[in-house]
Structure 1
């Protein structure tokens, strides 16, 4: 009798396991039952903090209301096609056969908004195969400004989760040498998984404090400092960021950012390019950091020109502080201008 009950229990477990496997396979093969069109009609019901609005009005003037309005609209999902594994046309055809609707990002030929498709882009077979990487178009901007070539040595000083590293690898056709660094083991683990999935072979992953790279003086042709920040620009993706928003965090991040950009600049060859970026729109984390670099080095800011991208110049004065006039060559990318997250990008050359 006991043996029969155990047998019945094992049979139920097998049946349950088969059912789970069946549901997983069905979700992968038929992911279109839930579509974005239902989700996009929803708007976030959140209250932006008074000080956040005041700062935004000081930065944007009459455009601030458009900014507040789009922050309540969920971010349209986007992807970047991984040309290391598949051509753009081949993946577009494959996804079209599955009833996906893609809209091209005007300033990045590998980038597409997903107008209609599976609710979870990370659960498709194409994602598992590394055919595309889930990435907001604003996040695609920094690698596009780096003037990358196949023979170069590149440092991504704060690389996890690896979206920009993967884009750099793709632009360089998996040639040259790319160092992808992060300081925390959990972030390094995520970085490793993502780079393995896209098939990157020219990348060396390191786990160290990014500031230690100042010891590799004049080694790299290109350096990306996509610095840790307050995340002020990601409210559309993460509405809770509006609740967490606290201007008291800006000085803390700014101190770390200044140390990272100084270390990255020291690791750069004469004539090399450093690109600094954040997903914040706070001047304390952006223009102030560039101003610090200009005052403490021979760096020169270069103009950023990307066809199809709408942007605003960096600010040269903020709440009584005056920054170097060349900082107006930096770009501020606001969500309402390109249907993206908020981003700041600056390109400097070492003399």
Structure 2
């Protein structure tokens, strides 16, 4: 049975919708192919070269081209790796390391991670901030916050303050944060490679619901951003209504500007028209990753600047 047939059989509506975006055999094969395991070395606890030298004694490591401290690793059981339990490494999907790289937070800055749990990107940002400044790690669900706190403790993050708020709450803090990451809740199409249930359970109404949530969150984030500040919006889905349409919505409602992202990776063309909806040409500066582009999760990243 071909990859197309597998997807069609699991969820015909999923197949029909996303074949409008791309309909190559390679695309469908990678949609359902298992993910490579990847890790991020946590330099808050040890120098990069020391950890890499130790891991190389036991595992094959392949550098992730767009993240200096990211590696693909030939291990199916990170829980059994001592460095993982000690917080020297953190299991993190390679494409999910992109948003903190694009945000590029600095020591001494006030940074907001609006939807932080389970904390992989929060820890990465703290690493770039060298545990300096202040990093607000927010999530609206108490259960997820417990996991967030545990992960931040294991990674040795000292500059984070954890809050439990609906992300829209931060819209009241006008022109406050130097940098904001909104890794938005989404329909998780990109995570089919991690769990087949994301394919079986996918429904268009879920993507539509998330799109409405994302639009409210991105407006709140932009209000909270200082002039000259950077907002990174990201999702792990390929649906234009959760990606390009959300960025287009922000552009129509505000004076936001989009900056092109330059990283050593392959990408797919951003969508400028879908189902009769036309989006701003500025959206072409965003980063759209389909699973076959870099053998990773599908991902979308936009770098937004407040004049």
Q: Report the TM-score, using the length of structure 2 for normalisation.
A: 0.95
Aligned length: 301
Structure-1 separation of matches of 2:68 and 2:25: 31
Whether the aligned pair in 2 keeps the contact of 1:122 and 1:134 (CA below 8 Å) is no
- Post-superposition Cα deviations, 1:280-327, rounded to whole Å, max 9, x if no partner, equal 110111111111111111101110111x21112321111100011100
* Residue segments in structure 2 that go unaligned for 5+ positions in a row: 1-5
Whether the aligned pair in 2 keeps the contact of 1:313 and 1:329 (CA below 8 Å) is no
Partner residue in 1 for 2:224: 267
Structure-1 separation of matches of 2:32 and 2:170: 40
Query: Which runs of structure 1 show a deviation greater than 3 angstroms over 4 or more consecutive aligned residues?
Result: 45-48
Partner residue in 2 for 1:57: 19
The correspondence of residues 172-211 of structure 1 with structure 2, limited to 5 A, is 172-211=129-168
Residue 48 of structure 1, CA deviation: 4.5
Return the index of the structure with the highest Cα Rg.
Answer: 1
Q: 1:81 aligns with which of 20, 23, 41?
A: 41
Are 1:101 and 2:60 an aligned pair? yes
Structure-2 separation of matches of 1:186 and 1:198: 19
Whether the aligned pair in 2 keeps the contact of 1:146 and 1:275 (CA below 8 Å) is yes
Considering Cα pairs closer than 8 Å and 6+ residues apart, tell me whether 1 or 2 has the greater RCO: 2
Structure-2 separation of matches of 1:167 and 1:301: 23
Residue 151 of structure 1, CA deviation: 2.0
Residue 172 of structure 1, CA deviation: 1.3
**More deviation in 85-94 or 128-137?**
85-94
Whether the aligned pair in 2 keeps the contact of 1:218 and 1:270 (CA below 8 Å) is yes
Matched residue SS, 1:327: helix
Residue 94 of structure 1, CA deviation: 1.3
The correspondence of residues 298-337 of structure 1 with structure 2, limited to 5 A, is 298-306=255-263, 308-337=264-293
Structure-2 separation of matches of 1:77 and 1:338: 13
* Residue segments in structure 1 that go unaligned for 5+ positions in a row: 1-44
Are 1:112 and 2:71 an aligned pair? yes
Structure-1 separation of matches of 2:97 and 2:10: 27
Whether the aligned pair in 2 keeps the contact of 1:136 and 1:341 (CA below 8 Å) is yes
